[in-house]
């Protein structure tokens, strides 16, 4: 096993004293975190601890109000999700960010549509349907038709759609905000396998989860958030679920 050493070398992404205020509310304050290639970091914490807000800053969805971000050592500013995508960061949001009025295929390709004719930019529907099918089968989650509208899908199928979109994009850092919340047992298994596969491809993964078993199975390190602060980072191998839970609840061991 090599991931004990993954915190060495140059981090892919480094957050320095990152903070976010919503008016008077300090949702995230002074978070320092480095994410190395090929590691899986779990983020845990109570509801309202600031986990989603933190990852949204990495995803370019919200701009930080303080601190700085570095990608491979270079300072960057993400003023919208496009910037983060350009830096090879892909995100699955807690609410999945799907267009329910569109088909599974449309959502998988949203923002990356295949087109021909540079002027008219005509959609290559057939090609996108075929590629979507391949991606979905690969993920092992059953969606009968890529033509189906997302509004008619189950929670697990929606999750799969969002995952397929990220899998397609081929990012260096993949962020997942509570991805297993809507999943059944079989679907969760497939998700965990997928995350491990991403890691074996050298990608970094940041995953927010409440499921201690999952967190301990797949992560290399665990970051604990409390009231907007990152209060501890533990190596998964050197901690226990009890220790993490007590950190989440009491803020100490």
Partner 1 sequence: MTQSVTQPDRNAGGFNLFGFARSQEGVVVFLLVALMIVVAVFSAASPYFFDVRNGMNIGRAISIIGIASAFTTLLMIAGGLDLSIGAVMNAAGVVAAMVLTQTNLGVGGAIVAAVAVGALVGWVNGMFIAKLGINPLIMTIAMQFVVRGLTLGFSASASKVIVDPTFLAIGQSYFHIGPLAIPAPLLWMLLTMLVLWFVLRFTLFGKYVYAVGGKASACRRAGINVNVITIQLYMLSGIGAALAGVVLAAIQGAGIPYGAGSELSVISAVILGGVSLAGGIGLIEGTLVAVLLVGVLKNGMTLMGISSVFQMVAEGLVLVGAVTLDRLKRRL
Ligand X SMILES: Nc1ncnc2c1ncn2[C@@H]1O[C@H](COP(=O)(O)OP(=O)(O)O)[C@@H](O)[C@H]1O
Which residues would be at the binding site for partner 1 (CB under 8 A)?
59, 61, 80-82, 85, 91, 93, 97-102, 106, 110-113, 115, 120-123, 126, 129-130, 133-134, 137, 144-147, 165
Site string for Mg ion, 85-124 (x = CB under 5 A): ---------x------------------------------
Q: Does 47 bind ligand X (CB under 6 A)?
A: yes
CB neighbours of residue 216 within 10 Å: 16
Q: In the block, which residue shows the tokens 């491979």?
A: 72
Q: How far apart are CA 243 and CA 248, in angstroms?
A: 9
Among 5, 9, 10, 22, which residue interacts with ligand X (rule: CB under 6 A)? Answer: 22
Q: How far apart are CA 175 and CA 153, in angstroms?
A: 23
Q: Does 52 bind Mg ion (CB under 5 A)?
A: yes
Least distance (Å) between residue 76 CB and partner 1:
16
Asked if residues 233 and 222 have their Cβ atoms less than 8 Å apart, the reply is: yes
| Part of the chain binding ligand X (CB under 6 A), chosen from 45-53, 129-137, 146-154, 164-172 | 45-53
- Strand segments, DSSP code E, in the chain are 13-22, 25-35, 40-45, 66-71, 74-76, 89-92, 115-116, 122-123, 173-177, 204-208, 221-226, 229-235
Contacts of 114 (CB under 8 A, 6+ apart): 123, 124, 127, 128, 131
Among 51, 221, 226, 234, which residue interacts with ligand X (rule: CB under 6 A)? Answer: 51
Nearest to Mg ion of 163, 175 (CB atom): 175
Least distance (Å) between residue 95 CB and ligand X:
11
Q: Which does 144 bind (CB under 5 to 8 A by kind): ligand X, partner 1, Mg ion, none?
A: partner 1
Q: Does 180 bind Mg ion (CB under 5 A)?
A: no
Give the DSSP H/E element, type plus range, for residue 133: helix 125-139
Least distance (Å) between residue 73 CB and ligand X:
27
| Part of the chain binding ligand X (CB under 6 A), chosen from 19-27, 116-124, 181-189, 231-239 | 19-27
Partner residues linked to 15 by β-bridges: 33, 69
Interface residues with Mg ion (CB under 5 A) are 52, 94
Interface residues with ligand X (CB under 6 A) are 22, 25, 27, 45, 47-53
């Amino acid at each position: 096993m090599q991931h004990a050493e993954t915190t060495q070398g140059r981090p892919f992404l480094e957050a320095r004293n990152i903070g976010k205020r919503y008016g008077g509310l300090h949702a995230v304050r002074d978070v320092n975190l480095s994410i190395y290639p090929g590691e899986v970091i779990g983020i845990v914490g109570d509801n309202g601890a600031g986990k989603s807000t933190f990852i949204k800053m990495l995803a370019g969805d919200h701009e930080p109000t303080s601190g700085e971000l570095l990608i491979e050592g270079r300072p960057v500013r993400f003023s919208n999700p496009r910037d983060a995508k350009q830096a090879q960061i892909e995100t699955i949001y807690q609410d999945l960010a799907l267009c329910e009025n569109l088909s599974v295929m449309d959502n998988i390709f949203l923002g990356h549509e295949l087109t021909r004719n540079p002027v008219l930019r005509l959609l290559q529907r057939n090609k996108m349907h075929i590629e979507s099918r391949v991606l979905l089968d690969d993920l092992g989650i059953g969606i009968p038709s890529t033509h189906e509208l997302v509004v008619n899908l189950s929670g697990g199928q929606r999750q799969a759609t969002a995952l397929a979109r990220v899998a397609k994009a081929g990012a260096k850092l993949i962020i997942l905000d509570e991805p297993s919340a809507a999943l059944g047992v079989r679907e969760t298994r497939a998700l965990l396998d997928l995350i491990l596969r991403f890691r074996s491809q050298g990608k970094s993964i940041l995953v927010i989860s409440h499921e201690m078993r999952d967190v301990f199975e797949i992560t290399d390190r665990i970051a604990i958030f409390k009231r907007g602060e990152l209060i501890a980072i533990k190596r998964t191998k050197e901690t226990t679920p009890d220790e993490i839970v007590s950190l989440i609840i009491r803020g100490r061991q």
